[in-house]
Amino acid sequence: MHFSFAPMEGVTSYLYRNVHAACFPGVDRYYAPFIAPDGSGRFKGSALRDILPENNRDIDLVPQVLCNTAEAFLAVSRELDAMGYREVNLNAGCPSATVVPKHKGAGMLADLRSLDDFLAEVFSRCALSVSVKTRMGLQSTSEFPAILEICNKYPISELIIHARDRAGMYKSTPDLAAFAAAFPDSRAPVCYNGNVVDTESFWKVMSTNPTLSHVMLGRGAVTDPALFRVLRGGAAMESAELRGFLDRLESAFLQAGLGEHITLARLKEVWYYVIYKFPGVQKQQKAINKSRDLAAYRDAVSALFAAGLYDPAAPFRG
């Protein structure tokens, strides 16, 4: 089985990825949070910093691009090619309300003729392998056969299917029946994505797709950084491992030059997921969320771990 770590904007930066790989090795591939270029293909320095090879030395990384014009996608791809990358991932799945109306992310699924034209231009000119991460439709997963028909026209290196429609955002139950129906019809290799948060949800996917060989984890893996190990039959994460991971993450943020307040904000974003490992800790959770500096944050985290409420089997339930 091949496991990948999904891109999560604001969370899985190169600093997070490097600490995760050091503490919990075994992820086959990481995907960088999307690059969002302007119409000419230019993108912000922070996005460039995140994908620089020197910032991702010991991990297999695939950059992802979110845009709605082939020219912008191709411009970014040329820069990635010059850096030594051999694959670029198209984001056709982001469900955000700030993205979809611009016909980006899952918004690309609103006009399949435009999606077809986009892919035709990209595959006629891109020097890199192109994988695609997509939702199964805008309003319904029943839209996916038409989407897949277009994808099958092109030599997509891998089709990563998030088994929800855009309307379901991240709350709906993944449509495993629709995924299982589509899986054998894809000409490209398929990766499953969508709400794999523990061994139970993983085996539920595998029970209907026994030949599936690639699964991508996102929120479940931020909640449980050792989840990849667990799914391979390894040991559950101990509380000391989690504490050490979070401490190393804090140090990495500070050593990279992030200020105290930015570091604190980044840590709170991670804790939004990690807190699920501590069921019923409203008081301690509020203390972390309300901390105004790192000293208060450290005190709150120490109190939480000292309370002995850590549950290694508790998954993400958001």
- pLDDT recorded at residue 79: 97
- CA-CA distance, 173 to 60, in Å (whole number)? 30
The whole-number pLDDT of residue 272 equals: 95
Q: Positive or negative CA dihedral for 245, 250, 251, 257?
A: positive
Single-letter amino acid, residue 149:
E
Residue 282 confidence (pLDDT): 73
**What six digits make up the tokens of 124?**
């006629």
Give the per-residue pLDDT at 284: 80
* Contact (Cβ atoms closer than 8 angstroms) between residue 190 and residue 168: no
pTM of the model: 0.96
Residue type, 154: Y
Note down pLDDT in tens along the chain; length 318 residues: 999 999 999 999 999 999 999 999 999 999 999 999 998 899 999 999 999 999 999 999 999 999 999 999 999 999 999 999 999 999 999 999 999 999 999 999 999 999 999 999 999 999 999 999 999 999 999 999 999 999 999 999 999 999 999 999 999 999 999 999 999 999 999 999 999 999 999 999 999 999 999 999 999 999 999 999 999 999 999 999 999 999 999 999 999 999 999 999 999 999 999 999 999 877 788 899 999 999 999 999 999 999 999 999 999 997
What is the per-residue DSSP string for 139-182? S-GGGHHHHHHHHTTS--S-EEEESS-GGGTTTSPP-HHHHHHH
Per-residue tokens: 134? 């997509």
Q: Please tell me the predicted confidence (pLDDT) of residue 113.
A: 98
Here the contacts of 138-142 (C-beta below 8 Å, separation 24 or greater) are 138/100, 138/106, 138/109, 138/110, 138/165, 138/166, 138/167, 139/165, 139/166, 139/167, 140/165, 140/167, 141/165, 141/175, 141/178, 142/178
Chain-centre distance for alpha carbon 8: 4
Provide the pLDDT for residue 40: 86
Looking up tokens 């994460």 gives 237
- Alpha-carbon distance of 184 to 224, in angstroms, equals 31
How far is CA 140 from its chain centroid?
22
Write down the pLDDT at residue 8. Answer: 97
Side by side, the strands of the sheet bearing 64-65 are 61-62, 29-31, 2-5, 214-217, 190-193, 159-162, 129-135, 87-92, 64-65
Q: Would you state the pLDDT for residue 133? A: 98
Q: What is the pLDDT of residue 19?
A: 98
Closest CA to 208 of 231, 182, 176, 232: 176
What local confidence, expressed as pLDDT, does residue 318 receive?
79
Query: Which residue blocks in the chain are alpha helix, DSSP H?
Result: 14-23, 45-51, 70-83, 112-125, 144-151, 176-182, 199-208, 219-223, 227-231, 239-255, 260-274, 282-290, 294-306
From residue 155, alpha-carbon distances to 21, 186, 189, 202 in Å are 31, 11, 10, 28
Q: Rounded to whole angstroms, how far apart are CA atoms 249 and 19? A: 6
From the CA atom positions of the chain, what is the Rg in Å? 20
pLDDT at residue 267 in the model:
98
Fold of 2-231: TIM Barrel (3.20.20)
